[in-house]
Amino acid sequence: MNAPEVVAHRGATAEAPEHTLAAYRNAAVVGADAVECDVRMTRDGVLVCVHDRRIRRTSNGRGVVSALRLAELEQFRFGARRGRLDRWKDDEIIAVTDEPDVENGRVLTLDRLLEHVTSTPGVVRLAIETKHPTRHTSRVEHELVRSLRRYGLLQGDRPVEWAGKPAFRVMSFSQLAVRRIAALAPGVPTVQLIGKRLRPVRGELLSGSMTAVGPGLALLRSDPAFVAQAHAAGKEVHVWTPNTAADIDFLVSLGVDALITDHPDEALRRLGRG
């Protein structure tokens, strides 16, 4: 059984506010294999690294990302630290804290993250998650592919390889988004994230062309046999978001392929790599 890859969820978010270069730098410093990043499209078609539909949890501003232009987003200060790391699924509003400024608090664009990652190629790979792709028809995927090409990460229809592995992969809860990426660049590894609604159609799901499936930890707690079924169907299993030693040990015992965690340092320690 291979040891799972360690992926820093939204950067090393236990160390720095999510989706900031500080969090991504920390992920590389602790030795994470990859970093996870959520992308959304602004009103003027720029991909930015923001998890929520609205910006008020992670900035001092208000509004919906897709309704704001980049210049408008740049007026706000981003980098608010989340209140409780184990409640990352909640939509509750957490008061913006007065964290020290990170990259001047400017919203992180995907291009800026790609520039950072490619400035030291091979150090840390990327797991990019597209959010709400239908809002912009296929513009999100087209723009994503364009950016990846611009930074030399996508050549032809395949990612460049760093240490024998693809430099990036693309994930989404949306089956439509995963299919769009596969159509635009068939050599790109894709991860079909699994939310509650996909559970009943597991057989159909596992017959798709994605490289991996991405269930939440809770799904595997109630249904650990899913890992073996996915492997039998030729799919890797990338799991979000194990944040405790017990979670990590449980997933390692199941033989999953990637741990997407807020605590990459803890995961690396459990795997004997820290």
In three-state secondary structure terms, 36 is strand
Contacts of 103 (CB under 8 A, 6+ apart): 20, 21, 22, 79
Active site residue 263: no
For residues 195-254, which are near ligand G3P according to CB under 6 A? 214, 240
Active site residue 9: yes
Nearer to Ca ion, 38 or 262 (CB): 38
Q: How far is the CB of 9 from ligand G3P (least distance, A)?
A: 6
Q: By beta-carbon distance, which residue lies closest to Ca ion?
A: 129
Catalytic residue among 51, 116, 136, 238: 51
Choose among ligand G3P, Ca ion, none what residue 265 binds, the Cβ cut-off being 5 to 8 Å by kind. Answer: none
**Is residue 193 at the binding interface for ligand G3P, with CB under 6 A as the rule?**
yes
Choose among Ca ion, ligand G3P, none what residue 226 binds, the Cβ cut-off being 5 to 8 Å by kind. Answer: none
Nearer to ligand G3P, 88 or 162 (CB): 88
Contact between 210 and 191 (Cβ < 8 Å)? yes
Choose among Ca ion, ligand G3P, none what residue 193 binds, the Cβ cut-off being 5 to 8 Å by kind. Answer: ligand G3P
Nearer to ligand G3P, 129 or 141 (CB): 129
Among 129, 143, 257, 265, binds Ca ion (CB under 5 A): 129
Distance (Å) of CA 259 to CA 8, 134, 155: 8, 28, 27
* 154-155 and 236-240 beta bridge pairing: unpaired
> Distance between CA 79 and CA 201 in Å, rounded?
38
For residues 51-110, which are near ligand G3P according to CB under 6 A? 51, 88-89
* 161-162 and 165-166 beta bridge pairing: antiparallel
CA 5-122-31 angle, 5° bins: 50
Among 38, 74, 143, 266, binds ligand G3P (CB under 6 A): 38
> Distance between CA 234 and CA 142 in Å, rounded?
27
In three-state secondary structure terms, 94 is coil
Closest CA to 257 of 238, 234, 240, 271: 238
* 34-41 and 47-48 beta bridge pairing: antiparallel
Choose among Ca ion, ligand G3P, none what residue 250 binds, the Cβ cut-off being 5 to 8 Å by kind. Answer: none
**Is residue 38 at the binding interface for Ca ion, with CB under 5 A as the rule?**
yes
Choose among ligand G3P, Ca ion, none what residue 214 binds, the Cβ cut-off being 5 to 8 Å by kind. Answer: ligand G3P
Q: Token digits for 237?
A: 């299993």
**Is residue 260 at the binding interface for ligand G3P, with CB under 6 A as the rule?**
yes
**Is residue 129 at the binding interface for ligand G3P, with CB under 6 A as the rule?**
yes
> Distance between CA 50 and CA 129 in Å, rounded?
10
> Distance between CA 62 and CA 104 in Å, rounded?
18
Distance (Å) of CA 240 to CA 118, 143, 205: 25, 26, 18
Nearer to ligand G3P, 214 or 242 (CB): 214
Total site size for ligand G3P, rule CB under 6 A: 11
Which residues bind to ligand G3P, rule: CB under 6 A? 9, 36, 38, 51, 88-89, 129, 193, 214, 240, 260
Which residues bind to Ca ion, rule: CB under 5 A? 38, 129
What are the residue numbers of the active site? 9, 51
